[in-house]
Amino acid sequence: MKQSTSIIIIVCVIIGLIGTGGGYAAGYAIYEPKVRSYEVQAASLGAQLATLERAIANQETSIAILESAKSKLETDLSGVREETARYQQQVTGLQAEVSSLQAKLGAIEPEVSALEKRLTGILGINVTQGYQWIYQGTPWQWDLPIPLSLYVEYRERPRPESAFYWVEMAKDPGDDLYIDRMIEHIESIALEGNFSAVEKLNFVIAFVQGLPYTVDEETTPYDEYPRYPIETIFDRGGDCEDTSLLVAALLDRMGYDVALLLLREARHMAVGVALAGGSGSYYLHNGKKYFYLETTGEGWQIGELPSSITDSSAQVYPLRS
C-alpha cells in the first residue's frame, strides 16, 4: 500500500515538472521574438543617437565659425564706420573750401569777362607787318596786314616730329589767303618789271632771304620749332626750315614743282625746284632734277650750293606726288 502510494506521488511530481517546463517553453516561444525586436530597435535608436550627436557637433562647429565671422564683420563694420566718419569730415571741409572758391569765383567773374572781351578785341585786330629786301641792287618794301587771331591759332598747333609731315605744313590751306596776296604782289612786280621765269623765282628768294635769321631756342621755348608759313611771315624771320617752308608754300601756289630738301648731316634744310633747262647743283628724285635753292642769307641764286654742304646728301620731299 505504501509502495503504491510512493509511486503515485512520484508520478504526480513528474507530471508537475513536465507541466512547469511546458509553461516555460511556451512563455519563451511567445516573448523571445519581442525581445529581439526591442534589441534591434534599441540598436537602431543608438545609431540614430550617434548620428544626431555628430550632427550636433558639426552644428556647434558651424556656429563657432559663424560667430568668428560675425566678430570679424563687426570689427570691419566698426572700421568702416570710423573711415566713413573721417570721409564725412573731409567732405565737410571740402564743401567749405568749394563754397569759399565759389565766392572767390563770383568775385572775379566780372574781371574775367572783361579780360575775355579785351582779348577778343585784341585778337580781332590786324597787325600790319612791313618787309624790306633788295633784289638786283634795288630796294623793295611791302606791307601785309595779318589777323592776330590767325597767328595765335597757328602758334597753338602741335608741331610734327618728322620732317615727312613738314610737307603738310607747307601745304596747309588755312593761310592760303595771305600766301595768295603775297603772290599777287610778286606777280604784279614781275609783270611790271618784265621778269623772266628765273628772275621771278630769284625775286621770291630774295624776299625770303631778306628776312632775319633767328634761332628757335632764342625765339621759342623749343630747340627745334618748325613754323607754319603764316608764322614766319608774321614773325618776319626764322631759321632754315621756317624759310624753306615759306618758300615752298609760295612757289607751290605759283605752280612750280618744289620739294623740301633735308640735309641731315649738315643739320640744314633748303628747297629744290624742278626746272626745265635749269643749271647748277641739284638733287635727283624719281627722275626729276630738283635744283638747290638756299633760303637763308642773301644773294644766293638757284643752283648755287654753299661750300659747307657740297658733300651732304639730301632727303627729298616733293610737295606734289
- In this predicted structure, what is the pLDDT of residue 105? 75
| Confidence band of 64 (pLDDT split at 50, 70, 90) | confident
Quick check: 154 pLDDT over 70? yes
Residue 278 makes CB contacts below 8 A (sequence gap 6+) with 289, 291, 302, 303
- In this predicted structure, what is the pLDDT of residue 222? 42
Least confident of 72-81, 111-120, 256-265: 111-120
- In this predicted structure, what is the pLDDT of residue 49? 81
The answer to whether the CB of 251 falls within 8 A of the CB of 271 is yes
The rounded mean pLDDT for the chain is 84
Give the Å distances, CA to CA, from 298 to 136, 225, 233, 317: 11, 23, 17, 24
Least confident of 81-95, 166-180, 189-203, 248-262: 81-95
The answer to whether the CB of 201 falls within 8 A of the CB of 256 is yes
Quick check: 152 pLDDT over 50? yes
- In this predicted structure, what is the pLDDT of residue 9? 59
| Confidence band of 220 (pLDDT split at 50, 70, 90) | very low
pLDDT digits (tens, 9 = 90+) for 277-320: 889 999 999 999 999 999 998 889 899 999 888 888 999 999 98
| Confidence band of 219 (pLDDT split at 50, 70, 90) | very low
Give the Å distances, CA to CA, from 30 to 33, 34, 42, 193: 7, 8, 20, 151
Report, as an integer, the average pLDDT of 118-127.
Answer: 74
pLDDT digits (tens, 9 = 90+) for 36-54: 888 888 888 888 888 888 8
Runs of H (alpha helix) within the chain: 2-123, 148-155, 166-171, 176-192, 197-209, 216-219, 229-235, 240-253
Which three cell numbers mark 238?
Answer: 626764322
Vertex 310, ends 261 and 268: CA angle to 5°? 40
Q: Can you tell me the distance from the alpha carbon of 302 to that of 204, in angstroms, rounded to the nearest whole number? A: 11
**Which is more confident, 16 or 259?**
259
Residue that the C-alpha cell 657740297 belongs to: 310
Quick check: 31 pLDDT over 80? no
Q: What are phi and psi of 139, to 5 degrees?
A: -75, 140
Length of the chain: 321
Quick check: 321 pLDDT over 80? no
| Confidence band of 115 (pLDDT split at 50, 70, 90) | low
- In this predicted structure, what is the pLDDT of residue 223? 45
Q: Can you tell me the distance from the alpha carbon of 279 to that of 291, in angstroms, rounded to the nearest whole number? A: 7
- Among 232, 272, 276, residue whose Cα is nearest residue 251: 272
Which three cell numbers mark 182?
Answer: 603775297
Q: Can you tell me the distance from the alpha carbon of 245 to that of 169, in angstroms, rounded to the nearest whole number? A: 7
- Among 223, 252, 259, 254, residue whose Cα is nearest residue 239: 223
Quick check: 229 pLDDT over 80? yes
- In this predicted structure, what is the pLDDT of residue 104? 82
Going 225 to 229 to 232 to 238, the CA torsion angle's sign is positive
Q: Can you tell me the distance from the alpha carbon of 273 to that of 254, in angstroms, rounded to the nearest whole number? A: 12
Half-sphere exposure of 5 (CA within 13 A, CB side): 2
Half-sphere exposure of 130 (CA within 13 A, CB side): 3
